[in-house]
Chain A
Amino acid sequence: MTSAVYFCDNKGKAILSRRYKDDIPLNAIDKFQTLLSDMEDETSVIPPCIAHNGIQYLFIQHNDLYVVALASSLGVNIAEVFAFLHKVMDILAEYLKTVEEESIRDNFVIVYELLDEMMDFGIPQVTDAKMLKKYITQKSFKLERASKKKRNAARPPSELTNSVSWRAEGIKYKKNEAFLDIVESVNMLMTQKGKVLRSEILGSVKVKSRLSGMPDLKLGINDRGIFTKYLEGNNIGVNIDSSHPDLKDNQSSITSSKSKAKSSIELEDLKFHQCVRLSKFENEKIITFIPPDGDFELMNYRLNTAIKPLIWCDMKVQVHDKSRIEISCTARAQIKKKSTATNVEIIIPVPDDADTPTFKYSHGKIKWVPEQSAIIWKIHTFPGGKEYAMTAQMGLPSINNAERPKFRRPVQVKFQIPYFTTSGIQVRYLKINEPKLQYKSFPWVRYITQNGDDYTIRLS
């Protein structure tokens, strides 16, 4: 169990602390700064846990902060500690918007209060932002209504310890609506020749619930695990293919898999928000839940499938006369004609010392960002099936021998494709049932596909 949580600045000096157990010396945290810098001197591999003098320093980084949990025993559940620290940051973000040194310093009272409520004696307690907000109210809000609040003093909501600990009773909306957002992030690693080395889809179903009372929701999606009973013998979906799809041969892979997938797909690694009845899902494969109020992520999933690149960039790099580099890039939106990719950004690394760029391009905007040693090509809208090209020439002052400049970073592509999911996941229905109020309600669904944090093309 955690003995103390500290917020430290970017050097590792403590700003604010909350001690939960009395088993570590008060000055243990002072060592953290030196430990960190000693370690940095020695190696570039700095794991998120450091042991010193029998005290474990477990830390995460967030903006310019180190959030450090101290523990005195090797038996402490480290997964819990890290999960908790990340949760703390999420919740602070709900209260403070951006969590950084400055905002922590300005809001230490609220931070203390939250730390006090979220953990007791090193055991995580209540970490549901919506419920916390019921009884730990923002300072500014408090001040305005100090006189009112007096009579109506904050109490822990009784739901807090109920089995539905994430939703308060008596919520009311004039219009009852639920919005579903299905966001798929595609991670893909490709070689310059177009071979896909690794691809995965990380999906997330986000819900914004504006529903009165205690509604019970039932979500139907076309997941195969869920629908096998009804659609027997339909085991197609997007199969994991160990052989790499060749670009040319698989021109239609997306559309075909999409049309197949219309009937059913198989989602892997489904993960649910705590409101989903896990045992019900395990036994009957039905997703049922009483939603928290407002925004939350209902579930996420991962699909480990071989897919064709959605945005493909054909890169050519040539070094001329030892002093000039020419980069050409042909980008193609390999999606259905009726879909459109938006906010496409292609980030092409260039040698650190390259300068004096000249660009030729047909669409979008290009700029050279020397701080990142990259050129960024932005295309606002990129309709499916289109192909755009650009070339860039840059000077290379310090090339001395015929050695080719090395590209140690890959080309990164960012994009969004609205109204489209790569996996073919579809919401079949969202049934909303509030036993007492029996109101009419409106479910809305949106789909979007975007790049994940690793959609890259290696330059060799």
Chain B
Amino acid sequence: MRGRVPRIGHSCILPGAAMFNYNFRWNQALNSLPQMLEGALVTMEIAILSMAIGIAVAILLTLFRLSGNRLLGAISATWVEIARNTPALFQIYMVHFGLGGFGVHLSPYLSLLIGIAFNNAGYLAENFRGALKAIPETQTRAARSLGMSPLQAFKNVVMPQMLRISFLPMTNQMVWAILMTSLGAVVAMNTDLYGVTSELNARTFRTFELFALAAVIFYVITKVITLSAGLLAARLFRY
């Protein structure tokens, strides 16, 4: 058996390591690469969608907080508190099994997407709150004095600056969203990168190789995101 299968790794890297009795078989993992890359696409899809939803909801939560309405303010504060102070894993679990208890049955895909979007929205709303502190009140005043309504002033003058200031934290959250997709494990998600890897592992038991490869893919994705975000920022924000 040994020697016939082309190998990339060695069974004994360290002297006396034979006791580990583990033969690296990278070819099996590499043969699974196409499936894993498909999973990576699902992971990216969930991360991007969850960010889009998260940003939209976070803007809404920010408006709730600024509205001066106590009920809306309380909704916003509660959302942020729960999202930031409970494990993301619980949040995803609750969407799937918690809502399931009330008869709302969502697919693993939707549960994961909504769970991560919930988490994103909470963190981003808090980032926006910080960013707003850096924008002088006089900006709104200037906009209002030109006849803009409060909403127009927010949308055209305050929000663009808020998003600019929050751009770096948003990039971090995007990376975190990619990594959070692996929590889909708790709701039996099996089409994302983690899910695919996990199922391959169950069939082949090439645990180290498969997860090492998955880790490399995760790393490449997040690295590409941070680098392209930097480039995008340079193009978008020229002032």
Q: Do A and B come from one complex?
A: no
B residues adjacent to A (C-beta < 8 A) = none
A residues adjacent to B (C-beta < 8 A) = none
